[in-house]
Amino acid sequence: MDNIAIKAEKLTKRFDDFVAVDAITFDVKQGEIFGFVGANGAGKTTAMRILCGLSKPTSGTAMVAGYDVYKDPEKIKKVIGYMSQKFSLYDDLTVMENITFYAGIYGLSDKDIKKRGQALLDQLGIGHEAKTFVSSLPLGWKQKLAFSVAIIHEPKIVFLDEPTGGVDPVTRRQFWDLIYAAADRGITVFVTTHYMDEAEYCNRVSIMVDGRIDAFDTPSNLKKRFSVNSMNEVFYQLARGAKRKAD
């Protein structure tokens, strides 16, 4: 079972009488790019919080990188990376200061921070921008930088919460190049997105509706099952029937 990065079984989260996550079962393989798709309010964020060790489930089991979300949330946090569209980097710190800060949180040595930080900037082609304030970087660069920083400690799994929102189409694709490169290095990628074409880039996709996982397969199998040409249509067919719209 070494090659399983995340395993959830009947994972449930209740808030009073509201079931945000309703007995979801799925597994993510090591090095896989796993798309976590769903309508607003379907329960994606809640599920993601549980897996990141930020929130305790009501029932069910979940193992992340071999650790139990009930018993070892602190250990989970050490071996994962996280990036979201809303919050990524500190605007009032320079590029290198951001890198130093995040790498420092994960206990990297000064030598490692310097080495990996420079390698990271070179990979992004912004080696000369180390002393630039993040606020003056274009949005596309910021997002790419944020992702690279989120995996600077070589986590086993990286969680990406709508990482490409509002980004221009070219940068969006460059961003996915980075995701592929990370997956090739063996980092498991768990990503949520509203762009359905991006769901096609994932190895496997789960589609959440009303707190349940209604579909879970490779994009090509899903399209075959619903006899449609795109993931957009798959999603539309599934989410149209959602009841929990106002929540």
Partner 1 sequence: MSAITLDNITKTYNKGSVLAVDKATFEVAEGETFGLIGPDGAGKTSIFRVLTTLLLPDGGNATVAGLDVVKDYQAIRNCIGYMPGRFSLYQDLTVEENLRFFATIFNTSIEENYALIKDIYVQIEPFKKRRAGKLSGGMKQKLALCCALIHKPVVLFLDEPTTGVDAVSRVEFWDMLKRLKSQGISILVSTPYMDEAALCDRIALIEGGKILSIDSPANTVKKYPGKLYAVKSSNMHLLLQDLRNYEGTHSCFTFGDSMHLSFKQEAEDNISKLTAYLTSKGHQQLEINEIDAGIEDYFIRITEKANG
Interface residues with partner 1 (CB under 8 A) are 38-42, 138-140, 162, 165-171, 173, 176-177, 180, 184, 194-197, 200-201, 219-220, 223, 230-232, 235-236, 239-240, 242, 244-247
For residues 64 and 182, which CB has a smaller minimum distance to partner 1 in the complex?
182
Tokens coding 126: 């912004």
Judged by beta carbon, residue 7 or residue 244, the one nearer partner 1 is: 244
Distance in Å, CB of 160 to partner 1, minimum: 15
Asked if 149 and 87 touch (Cβ cutoff 8 Å), the reply is no
The strand pair at 59-64 and 188-192 is best described as unpaired
Q: How far is the CB of 166 from partner 1 (least distance, A)?
A: 4
CB closer to partner 1, 129 vs 162:
162
Helix (H) or strand (E) holding 198: helix 196-200
Between residues 18 and 70, which has the closer beta carbon with respect to partner 1?
Answer: 18
Rounded to whole angstroms, how far apart are CA atoms 158 and 149?
A: 11
User: Which of 8, 37, 32 lies closest to 22, judged by CA?
Assistant: 8
- As measured in angstroms, the least distance from the Cβ of 42 to partner 1 is 8
Q: Is-contact 13 42, C-beta < 8 A?
A: no
CB 223 to partner 1: min, Å: 8
